[in-house]
A and B are shown apart, each in its own frame.
Chain A
Amino acid sequence: MGQRGQLQRTQQRFAYSIMTPIMLYLMLFSLIPMIWAVVLGFFDYSPVRLGSGLFGLGGDNPFVALDNYIAMFGDTQAAHLFRTSLRNTFLFSFLVLPLNLAITLPLAIIIERSHARAKGFFRAVYFLPTVTSAVAVALIWGAIYSPQAGLLSSIIRSVGMTPPKAWLTDPQAIFMGIPIAMIALIVAHLWQDFGYNLVIFIAALQGIPANLREAAMVDGANESQMFWLVTLPLLRPTMLFVCVMTLLSSLQMFILAQVMTAGGPREQTTTILMSIYQNAFRFQNMGWAAAMSFVLFLIIFTFTMIQFRVLKTDWEY
């Protein structure tokens, strides 16, 4: 008994000696930044001003209550840019999500039915773009979209059509109400990102028990019935995961737009995260930027919750 108690004490001491620094670390690099970020949103804070009080919040970095949030609805240039970047981010995300699913799900079904060797090969190649540097991807696609000597323009010329003067820089270039530059970004993003959802769908399809498909086959289901009535419902948990992750990353789109278009032409591709970055680190307007990032956080949080509600499933197989 005494020895057992001794052992337990030694173990507890060891556990706490490891967990205490880790928890302190998390406090410093996660919890405090999280609270600080929310607090910053209520101040007119810039690190170039000295301020007073805790963390320089006060003095010439005054508390402004909800002013940053109210200003978002105002008529200033900053407010217009905020609303534009929010609109662009939504446009981008809500085009990327369905297009991504429309590519990855059918492709996953096709790959899943291929021979084992072909399956491994195609999966490996399709996944390659997801591990590459997004900056390099932005530069390569920038070259593909280059107006005169670019690959896309020369492909279009080679089939006898006339390419537009510019893919990324012409603010007048609009297709079905969507700026061409935005479409160009979406295509590049889909190219880099689709392999990720693809392998997740393939794994999920492999997890569907064969006897369920066989049972449906015996009942005389055809291919499309099989997909809509058997496969798709069974993919619901995967679909939830894929939708959440895809929306999460596209709502935080930054690198492609920053490098390929710098948000242009005429702010047509400025995303919310670009706007946050510029205001915080270029203009040193961190109170305003923190308020914007809290809005983005709320948007991400809300969409995640909605998707959990809509796609929630309470049966298993």
Chain B
Amino acid sequence: MSPSTTRIVPFGISLGMIARYAVLLIGLSVTLLPFVYVLVSSLKTPAEIIRVPPSFFPKDATLQNYLTIFADPRVPVATFFANSTLVAVGRVLITLFTSSLAGYIFARYEFSGKNLMFGVLMAQIMIPFQMIMIPLYLILVQLQLIDTLWGLILPAMIDAFGIFLMRQFIEGIPRELIDAGRMDGASEFQIYARLILPQLRAPLASLGIFTFMATWNDYLWPLIVITTHEKRTLPLLLTWYSNAHGSRPALTMAASVIVLLPIVLIYILFQRQIVANAATTGFK
């Protein structure tokens, strides 16, 4: 028995523990309430959502808002979805390739200028995006990539943080593996592709999930680069029903659910890994 004075019952339940769980449950409801709210609101009719006094749960739940959005010719959701997916998958694949390859070079090769290059790379982490976004835009204008999905991918092909992460991980892979590959006459690139890459499953998954989410949720850069309606990504769809085109709260809520759903599903699937990433690497 612990000498704690708050222990009141023999089941190992103390007052302190009850208080702690009460706090956790309050936090839980505050965290989940907005998600529940958007879901139930998206099922209300346009009339019910603005009714005063409001009801929390819909009286006659309807999927009409979703049908309206998917049928709205001004808002090609499928196109937005495809654009978002294309940009996100493109950025993930490119980032994984460049990060693992450069990480491998930094971890296992000696060449002059290596430390300088690594320094340059790390300095790049310190530059806030807002500082370079104007020149970046002007460069894309020169390259005639404004208003293209390439304009969303091209400036994000090298991820200094990803390279750093991969280097850390590859330093833990035994050198013998590489030496054995050389004995067998594998080229340097084959060693990377056949021996190193398969060892990197865990960090590649982490970096991939992180890059996907960041790209999926990106708003400011697509807002700057994309001007044609059909080339927009999903976050830009969201504001369609809320400001410039008259406030349509029921549709806005349904659109929010459409954008949130994929990311929440990915989160539920990879939750353990995502949280562990944030805790250990400081990913944001």
Binding site for B on A (CB under 8 A): 7, 10-12, 14-16, 18-19, 22-23, 25-26, 28-34, 36-37, 40, 47, 55, 107, 110-111, 113-114, 118, 120, 122-137, 139-144, 146, 148-151, 154, 157, 191, 195-196, 199-200, 202-203, 241, 245, 248-249, 252, 254-255, 259, 262, 273, 276-277, 280-281, 286, 289-290, 293-294, 296-297, 300
Q: Of residues 108 to 161 in B, which have CB atoms within 8 Å of A's CB atoms?
A: 109-111, 114, 117, 120-121, 124, 127-139, 141, 154-155, 157-158
- Cross-chain contact A29 with B136 (CB below 8 angstroms): yes
Within the complex, what minimum Cβ distance (angstroms) separates B51 from chain A?
A: 6
- Cross-chain contact B134 with A37 (CB below 8 angstroms): yes
What residues of B have a CB within 8 angstroms of the CB of A293 in the complex? 130-131, 133-134
Within the complex, what minimum Cβ distance (angstroms) separates A190 from chain B?
A: 10
- Cross-chain contact A143 with B41 (CB below 8 angstroms): yes
What residues of A have a CB within 8 angstroms of the CB of B131 in the complex? 34, 37, 293-294, 296-297
* Distance in angstroms between the alpha carbons of A37 and B238 in the assembled complex: 31
* Distance in angstroms between the alpha carbons of A47 and B134 in the assembled complex: 10
What residues of A have a CB within 8 angstroms of the CB of B56 in the complex? 151, 154
Size category of the B interface is 35 or more
CB contact between A110 and one of B23, B52, B121 (< 8 Å): that residue: B23
Residue B197, interface by CB 8 Å: no
Q: Of residues 216 to 262 in B, which have CB atoms within 8 Å of A's CB atoms?
A: 216-217, 219-220, 224, 234-235, 238-239, 242-243, 249, 252-253, 255-256, 259-260
Given the known A-B contacts A140-B34, A142-B242, are A25 and B157 also in contact in the complex, defined by CB atoms under 8 Å? yes
- Cross-chain contact A140 with B37 (CB below 8 angstroms): yes
* Distance in angstroms between the alpha carbons of A144 and B30 in the assembled complex: 12
Residue B189, interface by CB 8 Å: yes
What residues of A have a CB within 8 angstroms of the CB of B280 in the complex? 203
Which A residue's beta carbon lies closest to that of B277? A199
- Cross-chain contact A15 with B111 (CB below 8 angstroms): yes
Residue B20, interface by CB 8 Å: yes
- Cross-chain contact B34 with A141 (CB below 8 angstroms): yes
* Distance in angstroms between the alpha carbons of A140 and B117 in the assembled complex: 44
What residues of A have a CB within 8 angstroms of the CB of B213 in the complex? 131
Residue B101, interface by CB 8 Å: yes
* Distance in angstroms between the alpha carbons of A23 and B54 in the assembled complex: 58
CB contact between A199 and one of B31, B105, B138, B279 (< 8 Å): that residue: B279
* Distance in angstroms between the alpha carbons of A25 and B253 in the assembled complex: 41
- Cross-chain contact A286 with B51 (CB below 8 angstroms): no
- Cross-chain contact A134 with B132 (CB below 8 angstroms): no
Given the known A-B contacts A28-B139, A132-B260, are A241 and B282 also in contact in the complex, defined by CB atoms under 8 Å? yes
Given the known A-B contacts A18-B101, A125-B31, A296-B130, are A139 and B219 also in contact in the complex, defined by CB atoms under 8 Å? no
Q: Is the interface of B mostly helix, strand, loop or mixed?
A: helix
* Distance in angstroms between the alpha carbons of A154 and B56 in the assembled complex: 9
Given the known A-B contacts A30-B132, A33-B132, A133-B260, are A14 and B109 also in contact in the complex, defined by CB atoms under 8 Å? yes
Given contacts A37-B132, A107-B27, 19 further A-B contacts (CB under 8 A): A11-B111, A23-B117, A26-B158, A33-B135, A37-B131, A40-B135, A120-B272, A125-B32, A131-B274, A132-B264, A133-B217, A133-B263, A135-B239, A139-B255, A191-B31, A191-B34, A202-B279, A245-B284, A296-B131
A-B contacts, 7 of them at CB < 8 A, read A19-B111, A22-B158, A26-B158, A33-B132, A37-B135, A151-B56, A200-B278
- Residue with the greatest number of chain B CB neighbours at <10 A, chosen from A122, A125, A131, A133: A131
Which B residue's beta carbon lies closest to that of A157? B53
- Cross-chain contact A252 with B28 (CB below 8 angstroms): no
What residues of A have a CB within 8 angstroms of the CB of B102 in the complex? 18-19, 22
- Cross-chain contact A34 with B132 (CB below 8 angstroms): yes
* Distance in angstroms between the alpha carbons of A15 and B275 in the assembled complex: 34
